[in-house]
Amino acid sequence: MIENQSDNIDNIENNVSDQDKSSEDAAPLEDPIIKNDESSQKIDEINTEELKNTISNNDARLEQLEKEHETLKNQYVRISADFDNFRKRQSRDQDDLKIQLVSKTLTSILPIVDNFERARQQLKPESEEALALHRSYQGLYKQLVEVLKQQGVAPMRVVGQQFDPTLHEAVLKEPSEELNEDFIIEELQRGYNLEGKVLRHALVKVSMGPGKQDSQDEVEKDKVEEDIDSDENTSEDV
């Protein structure tokens, strides 16, 4: 009986000893877990901070790129507008140069047309031979006029129109009972337009209006009478 009790005591002591060893063995295991949790938290905090910095840098970079894109877009719009204006200006300059060259060439031909018209007015064919020559001449004249028309040349019609210094050049003025002042009485040299622009001004005779001649005669008459009176006064003084 006593032996059994001693055995139980020994078993109890052994169990207590085993528990103490187990607690000693288990205690050191708690420290690495805590350390791992703390290090993981620190790593997460670091990763979060780096992520925030990356996002902030990306936002700043994106804003910078958007500004650069807007600047480049504005530059492109300006360059495109400048190029379009340059192209239109070049086209206008080319058209103006073409018109100048054509105008210069046609202007040198117009005196020939004038000579044709003068000859047509003076020629009065009587014989059959002269009539045939006149017809041949008329054919050449019509061909010349047709070529000018194809180039955009059109003659002015000025008689009876009001004088316009942008279209006409007044060479003579005389009184007229039929037309008011500054209206064209006669065309002395025909004017021509080219594509709506003046190729050559028309030389014209312009009306001074009715009664101008009478007024001028009265002025001259009054002047003569004044001279006569002056001569008579001079003779009386002598």
**CA-CA distance, 9 to 13, in Å (whole number)?**
6
The CA-atom distances, in angstroms, between 22 and each of 11, 27, 68 are: 16, 9, 70
**CA-CA distance, 91 to 29, in Å (whole number)?**
91
Q: Which residue has the tokens 């050449």?
A: 140
SS3 assignment, position 141: helix
Length of the chain: 238
**CA-CA distance, 133 to 125, in Å (whole number)?**
8
> Could you tell me if residue 143 is inside a domain?
yes
For the beta carbon of residue 148, count every other beta carbon within 10 angstroms: 19
Task: Output the pLDDT for position 238.
Answer: 34
Which residues lie closer than 8 Å to 179 by C-beta, 6 or more apart?
Answer: 160, 185, 207, 209
* 210, 228: one domain: yes
DSSP annotation string for 60-77: HHHHHHHHHHHHHHHHHH
* 140, 172: one domain: no
Residue that is last in its domain, among 100, 123, 151:
151
Tally of domains within the chain: 2
* 123, 146: one domain: yes
E strands present in the chain: 153-155, 168-174, 184-189, 192-194, 197-200, 202-207
* Nearest alpha-carbon partner for 192 in 102, 96, 122: 102
* 165, 134: one domain: no
> Could you tell me if residue 8 is inside a domain?
no
Residue that is last in its domain, among 136, 151, 166:
151
* 131, 144: one domain: yes
> Could you tell me if residue 183 is inside a domain?
yes
Strand 168-174 to 202-207 pairing: parallel
* Domain ranges, residue 219: 154-238
For the beta carbon of residue 212, count every other beta carbon within 10 angstroms: 15
> Could you tell me if residue 49 is inside a domain?
no
Contact between 187 and 159 (Cβ < 8 Å): yes
> Could you tell me if residue 5 is inside a domain?
no
- Residue pLDDT tens, the chain, 238 long: 444 555 555 555 555 455 555 444 444 444 555 556 666 777 767 778 787 788 888 888 888 888 899 999 899 999 999 999 999 999 888 888 888 888 888 888 899 888 888 887 777 777 787 788 878 888 888 898 899 899 889 999 999 999 999 999 999 999 988 889 999 999 999 999 988 889 999 999 999 988 644 444 444 545 545 554 554 444 344 3
**CA-CA distance, 141 to 156, in Å (whole number)?**
18
CATH number of the domain bearing residue 198: 2.30.22.10
> Could you tell me if residue 169 is inside a domain?
yes
Residue that is last in its domain, among 97, 125, 151:
151
**CA-CA distance, 110 to 190, in Å (whole number)?**
9
